[in-house]
Amino acid sequence: MGTLVVIGGTGELGRKAVLAACADAPTAWSGSIVATYNNSPPPFTSPKVQWLHLDCADHKAVRSFILSQTHLSTVIYCAVPKHGGAAGKGGNLVRAGIVDDVVNCAEAVTIVAAKFVAVSTDLVFDGNLPPSDCYNESSPTCPPNPYGQYKQHMERQLLNLSGSIIIARTSLILTMDEPPFGKAIQFVVDCINGKHGEIELFTDELRNMSFSDDLGRALVELAKPQCTHVGLIHMVSDEVTNRWELAKLLAKRLNLQHNLGKWAKSGISAESGLNRPLNCSLSTELKNKVLKTHIDGLSERLA
């Protein structure tokens, strides 16, 4: 099949994509698997993957790297700057990392007629849907915060490129291998344990939370040449839930029930005055037609 490149292979999602690709080798990738890193060293070594240092902000180096790859099949782009999500203030560096760096890499990939898989977010939507509705891939985007706006710009520029471009929208990404957990889970665990003082976890902020190992496998499936899908796809679990439900399941799993409600309590985002997106539920109808990979929902994994 040729070479698979994972840009940003040390992050929470990127390393899961690298592991999934290694599990498929050599049947899926007859060439090689190349993964890049920048600020963090490679999290593991394997004879199946070659790790290379690459600064995605160095656009000339990225182009040179892509154009030098022999028999390049697909690039999965997982690198992302620290951004703060819906609460982040954005800025030029964040925008450059989310928009300019990704588009630069994609342009190089299209030159060699390879496939490019990018990662986006449910926060491209404003979350103003009724609780029973969900967004599909063709729903108009209207992000209310800088992070979502940058992802929207990225999506639009990528979709204007000619070539095989896939944009996988994710939601809240969960990683629960061992402490320290992924960012989303560690935040909720810290809330339960009082590390953020008294705090409300909202029941009306609806998301399709998904686990990073499933998402890594799904990205690799999208990357394979036999996957003919192009354009947007919602790469999330079918289950819609919220952070308070996540807190209850984590408290039970980690034997923290005695702390639940002491510091972290349920709350209503719409009454908080924070003006955050509420219902960002995503339709998974297309995903279930395109992908064989099953993406666990919260209750499937933790209940």
The contacts of residue 223 (CB under 8 Å, 6+ apart) are 4, 21, 73, 74, 76, 115, 117
The pLDDT of residue 123? 97
What's the rounded Cα separation, in Å, for the pair 44 and 116?
24
Mean model confidence pLDDT for the chain:
96
Q: Which tens digit of pLDDT belongs to each residue from 147-160? A: 999 999 999 999 99
Whether residue 198 lies inside any domain: the answer is no
The pLDDT of residue 29? 67
Q: How many domains does the chain have?
A: 1
Whether residue 54 lies inside any domain: the answer is yes
Whether residue 267 lies inside any domain: the answer is no
What value does the mean pLDDT take over residues 252-267?
Answer: 96
Q: Which domain holds residue 94?
A: 3-174+212-237+282-295
Contact 227, 290 (CB under 8 A): yes
Q: In this model, does residue 28 exceed pLDDT 80?
A: no
Whether residue 196 lies inside any domain: the answer is no
> What is the pTM assigned to this prediction?
0.96
Q: Which tens digit of pLDDT belongs to each residue from 30-85? A: 679 999 999 999 999 999 999 999 999 999 999 999 999 989 999 999 999 988 88
- Confidence class for position 24, pLDDT limits 50, 70, 90: confident
Whether residue 7 lies inside any domain: the answer is yes
The pLDDT of residue 27? 67
The pLDDT of residue 108? 99
What value does the mean pLDDT take over residues 5-21?
Answer: 97
CATH number at residue 157: 3.40.50.720
- Confidence class for position 86, pLDDT limits 50, 70, 90: confident
Q: Which tens digit of pLDDT belongs to each residue from 159-208? A: 999 999 999 999 999 999 877 899 999 999 999 999 999 999 999 999 99
Phi, psi of 75 (to 5 degrees): -115, 125
Whether residue 71 lies inside any domain: the answer is yes
Q: Which tens digit of pLDDT belongs to each residue from 94-136? A: 999 999 999 999 999 999 999 999 999 999 999 999 999 999 9
| Ordered DSSP codes for the chain | --EEEEESTTSTTHHHHHHHHHHHTTTS-SS-EEEEESSS--S---TTEEEEE--TT-HHHHHHHHHH-TTEEEEEE-------GGG----HHHHIIIIIHHHHHHHHHHHTT-EEEEEEEGGGS--BS-TT--B-TTSPP--SSHHHHHHHHHHHHHHTSSS-EEEEEE-SEE--SSSS--HHHHHHHHHHTTTT-SEEEESS-BB--EEHHHHHHHHHHHHSTT----EEEE-S-S--B-HHHHHHHHHHHTT-TTTTTTSEEEE-GGGTT-----B--B--HHHHHH--S----HHHHH-
Whether residue 66 lies inside any domain: the answer is yes
Whether residue 197 lies inside any domain: the answer is no
